[in-house]
């Protein structure tokens, strides 16, 4: 396990741990760096404003790293994919980029259009088009399309349903939308 944030700060800034502890307490209580530099020099052991500013920035950075570390550990454990080696690597990394690299294989992926097409069974279409560049993509794709259909509401039931759900259908009392499935300026 890594040393505490305060211990790491003391080592990085080459100051005493008591100076770090008192300064962190002041910062956590809401004191600003200029206030601490001017009026709390005795509490910080004489740290100057440059050291205080660096301490404040590193404190924030290290706290964010620890928060992210805990979130990553939790996410991987929820997937039941945590191993002792992975936990050790996550626990001992001191770099946010390396931490994210460790998490990358376990991060939830966004569904891309390619994934959705694959799930819809279009992999065979893609393979045939890639294997034979002379094929016409529109002709080949037509083999995979469903035939159009009509309903009592017209040719665009999805649009009609969406309009009905949003209350826009009432805006066309003359039935234009119901008859044509199209919204045109002046039909309202």
Q: What is the tens place of the pLDDT at every residue in 149-184?
A: 555 555 555 555 555 554 444 444 555 555 555 555
Task: List the domains of the chain with CATH numbers.
Answer: 5-106 (1.10.10.650), 110-170 (no CATH)
Cβ-based neighbours of 146, under 8 Å, separated by 6 or more: none
Q: What is the pLDDT of residues 62-87, one digit of tens each?
A: 999 999 999 999 999 999 999 999 99
Kindly write down the DSSP assignment for every residue of the chain, as one continuous string. -PPPHHHHHHHHHT--HHHHHHHHHHHHTT--HHHHHHH-HHHHTS--HHHHHHHHHHHHHHHHHHHHHHHHHHHHHHTT---HHHHHHHHH---HHHHHHHHGGGSPPPPPHHHHHHHTT-HHHHHHHHH-TTS-HHHHHHTTSPPP--BTTBS-HHHHHHHHHHTGGGG-TTSHHHHHS---TT--
Per-residue pLDDT reduced to its tens digit, 22-66? 999 999 999 999 999 999 999 999 899 999 999 999 999 999 999
């Amino acid at each position: 396990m890594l040393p505490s944030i305060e211990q790491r700060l003391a080592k990085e800034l080459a100051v005493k741990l008591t100076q770090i502890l008192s300064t962190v307490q002041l910062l956590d209580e809401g004191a600003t760096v200029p206030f601490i530099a001017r009026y709390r020099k005795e509490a910080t052991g004489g740290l100057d404003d440059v050291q205080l500013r660096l301490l404040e920035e590193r404190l924030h950075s290290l706290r964010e790293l620890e928060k992210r570390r805990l979130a990553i550990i939790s996410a991987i454990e929820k997937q039941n994919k945590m191993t002792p080696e992975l936990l050790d690597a996550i626990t001992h990394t001191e770099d946010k980029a390396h931490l994210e690299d460790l998490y990358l294989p376990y991060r939830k992926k966004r569904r891309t259009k390619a994934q959705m097409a694959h799930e819809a069974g279009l992999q065979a279409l893609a393979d045939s088009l890639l294997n034979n560049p002379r094929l016409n993509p529109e002709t080949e794709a037509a083999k995979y399309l469903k035939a159009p259909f009509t309903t009592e509401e017209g040719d665009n039931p999805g649009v009609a349903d969406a309009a009905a759900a949003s209350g826009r259908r009432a805006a066309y009392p003359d039935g234009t939308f119901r008859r044509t499935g199209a919204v045109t300026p002046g039909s309202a």
